[in-house]
Amino acid sequence: MYPYIETTHVIALTLFVGTLAIVDLRMLGFAYRSTPISTISQSILPWTVVGFIIMFVTGVLLFYAIPVRTYHSVWFRIKVIMIVLAAINAAHYHYRISKNRVLWDSAPRPPRSVRLTAATSLFLWIVVIFSGRMIAYNWFDCDRPQPDWVITVAGCVIDEVATL
Amino acid sequence: MTLLEVFQSLEEMWIGEAIRTSYWLFPFIEAIHLVGLALLGGTVLVVDLRLLGLTLRSRPATQVLLNARPYFVLALVTMFATGIPLALSEMIKLYYNFSWWVKISTLGIAILFTFFVRNPMVLRDRASNVTLAGIGLVSLVLWFTVAGAGRWIGFS
């Protein structure tokens, strides 16, 4: 069962980050320059949302398959923080920056603030993919000898080390 | 020289050796491979969903394709630049891996289909909507088979 959920998680990456990248590339002024940002957003973001839902559901299932180790994974913690930052970035765009969208909706190259949120979004999701893939590797696991900073960041507990 | 011997000598090349002996290299290249997958999938999806009439219906399919194409090619180059070193580090394992053979043969078909069937048909702009939808569906099935079989290499 785990491989099927994991594969779904990876394939949904194309739907989620892949379609989001198209929107970000438009906001950066790199692609679809003659198409209004609102057209791209309205047409593509529903697919991004579908991708996100699949990622989230399969991600939660993958977490529950290996909960203790994942909870103490340095990479998982980085990943969650990056997802929160990406959510804040998205909210910032939605509630602040896009308020005056009519002014630059059709601009081939939108204003700096818009390009900056798009670049931030791309960067954060790339870090999420990176750290997500690294969860599979055990370099920083609590059941191995670790330097103090790893023990702190991973929240290793001595009792739990024995049970792992 | 048998095929297995070819795979063996490929695995013995310095590049595969370097990746095998490194702690970080394989996971690092693998992560870039995944970032490339996201972009590849996105650029395939936006065109094929357009052909199926499921996104950007107000825009001509040719325009949707022409804008996505440079990033599709960029993603494909990234996939090869990372996928080849990954493969070179474990050629003998891959020789016996059914998923990898599925992935590689489907990949060949998908690339040929994209550059010699889908893209020319879309750009010529003469095909009916039903034909274009069929092309979009075939493209989606091919590329997602490549992705799924690719992920499965690690499980089988």
Domain boundaries, chain B: 3-152
| Lowest-pLDDT range of A43-47, A51-55, A79-83, A99-103 | A99-103
Contacts of A40 in chain B (CB under 8 A): 56
A17, A22, A126 member nearest B46 (Cβ): A22
B27, B34, B71 member nearest A31 (Cβ): B71
| Lowest-pLDDT range of A10-19, A131-140, B119-128 | A131-140
What's the pLDDT at A25? 97
Whether the pLDDT of residue A164 is over 70: the answer is: no
Chain B residue at shortest CA distance from A47: B55
What's the pLDDT at A160? 53
Concatenated DSSP letters for chain B? --HHHHHHHHHTSHHHHHHHH-SSHHHHHHHHHHHHHHHHHHHHHHHHHHHTTSS-TTS-HHHHHHHHHHHHHHHHHHHHHHHHHHHHTTHHHHHT-HHHHHHHHHHHHHHHHIIIIIHHHHHHT-S-HHHHHHHHHHHHHHHHHHHHHHHHTTT-
B 77-136 residues with CB below 8 A of A? Answer: none
Average pLDDT of the residues in A114-126: 97
**Binning pLDDT at 50, 70 and 90, where does residue A162 land?**
low
Number of cross-chain residue pairs from A and B with Cβ atoms under 8 Å apart: 101
Whether the pLDDT of residue A161 is over 70: the answer is: no
Q: Return the closest-CA partner of residue A37 out of A48, A22, A57.
A: A22
What's the pLDDT at B154? 86
- Encode pLDDT of B28-84 as tens digits: 999 999 999 999 999 999 999 999 999 999 999 999 999 999 999 999 999 999 999
User: What ipTM describes this predicted complex?
Assistant: 0.91
Whether the pLDDT of residue A150 is over 90: the answer is: no
Looking at CA atoms only, how far is residue A10 from chain B in angstroms? 8
CB–CB of A133 and B30 under 8 A? yes
Whether the pLDDT of residue A54 is over 90: the answer is: yes
Looking at CA atoms only, how far is residue A4 from chain B in angstroms? 9
The answer to whether B35 faces chain A, any CB pair under 8 Å, is yes
**Binning pLDDT at 50, 70 and 90, where does residue B91 land?**
very high
Q: Return the closest-CA partner of residue B72 out of B36, B31, B106, B103.
A: B36
Looking at CA atoms only, how far is residue A54 from chain B in angstroms? 14
Looking at CA atoms only, how far is residue B145 from chain A in angstroms? 10
CB–CB of B155 and A17 under 8 A? no
Contacts of A137 in chain B (CB under 8 A): 27
CB–CB of A43 and B55 under 8 A? yes
CB–CB of A47 and B55 under 8 A? yes
